[in-house]
Each structure stands twice: as C-alpha cells, then as structure tokens.
Structure 1
Amino acid sequence: MFGGNNMQQMMKQVQKIQKEMETEQEKIEATDYIGSAPQDLVRATVAGDRSLKDLQIKPEIVDPDDVENLQDMIIIAVNEALKQVDDDTKQRLGKYTGQLGL
C-alpha cells in the first residue's frame, strides 16, 4: 500500500483546514462591519453574512430638495461596509487557499 499513510495524513490536514475555515467563517458572520459616508452623515452596519442590520442618517443630511445626495450617501456607506466584509473574508480565509493548493 504505497503512499497510504501519506494519503491519511493529507486527509487529516484537509479536515483540519476545513474545520479552521468553518470557524473563521463563523467569526466573520458574527462580526458587524460599519461603513460611513463622509463626515459620518450616514452609517451602515452590515453583518458578516452581508445583511444590512442598521442604517443611521443624521438629520442635517436630510433635504427634501436634494434626495439624490442622501441616496448617494446611503450607497457610499453600505458599499463601504460590504467592502469591509469582503476584505475581512479574504484576509481570514485567503490564508487557507494556499494550503489547499487553490
């Protein structure tokens, strides 16, 4: 049985990496990521599963004659929070791709 022991070791290593990745994914999903528009006029809180949890808008940004500005600020804040989720996911899980040969 040539290489059988090596195959068992490799499978154990893959299982260990998989378990570590699952743990990291759980940590990501339990983390809140906060994105904000300039001057914190709009703040968006996104969970690690990419769901919007909270949206705070400062009253001074609300101008009925300039709804487009408010919409832009919301988009900026939400996109910043989502980018933080992506960046953290890449940082936490990216280290495993090399170990798995991906």
Structure 2
Amino acid sequence: MFPGGAPDLQQLMQQAQQMQQQVMAARAELTSEEVTGSAGGGLVTATMTGGGELTAVTISPAAVDPDDIETLQDLVVAAVRDAGRLANELAADRMGPLMGGLGGGLGLPGA
C-alpha cells in the first residue's frame, strides 16, 4: 500500500498546510495582477484582475456612434468576456501546478 508502511500523518498535515499557504499566496498574487481584453481591434478594452474583478473599461471615441449604440454595447461585452478569458487563463496558469498536486502530492490512497 505505502512504501515502508503507513503514511506519517504529521508529515501529511505539514504538506497540506504548506500547500494551503502556497494557494493563499497565489490567490493574493492574482488579485494584484491585471489582464486587458479587447474588442473591435482595440476600440474597446476591459481590464480585469486575475481574481476576476473588472477594474476599467476604455472606449475609443471612434467606437461611439449615436445611431448605433448596439454595436458599442456588443463591443463592451466582447471586451469584458475577453478579459475574463484572460483572467481565467492567468488563474489556471498560477493555480494549476498547486491544485494538480492535491491528489498524488500528499501521498493519499487512491491518488
């Protein structure tokens, strides 16, 4: 089952605590990092933290047509979605290695 007998519970708890600290540090780091999504060739941009908080939207005057508000609205939505996608990718990049070790990294049975 386990090489050398039963797992050392204290060692497993220490590993879990270290991993929890790493996850918390990575989450804190994500809230300070920003990504910027865009739409319409950069006419509209949206900036978001790695934690998913929308912090800014920039609209180029060239994107503003009083007779076509729907297109501007679509561009804003597309830019926010793009920023969200980039924030998710950033989070996966930062958190993935930490979360990937949850099963086998602790030497738990069945992992």
Match of 1:51 among 50, 53, 57: 53
| Aligned pairs, number | 100
Aligned Cα root-mean-square deviation (Å):
1.7
Residue number in structure 2 paired with 1:21: 23
Gaps of 5+ in 2: 104-110
Q: Scaled by the length of structure 1, what TM-score is found?
A: 0.88
Structure 1 residue 38: Cα displacement:
2.7
Q: Scaled by the length of structure 2, what TM-score is found?
A: 0.82
Residue number in structure 2 paired with 1:9: 11
- What is the distance in 2 between the residues matched to 1:96 and 1:52? 25
Structure 1 residue 97: Cα displacement:
2.2
Q: Which aligned runs of 4 or more in structure 1 are off by greater than 3 angstroms?
A: none
Give 1 or 2: higher helix fraction. 1
Residue number in structure 2 paired with 1:70: 72
Gaps of 5+ in 1: none
Match of 1:80 among 79, 82, 106: 82
Tell me the secondary structure at the aligned position of residue 12 of structure 1. helix
Aligned-residue identity in percent? 34
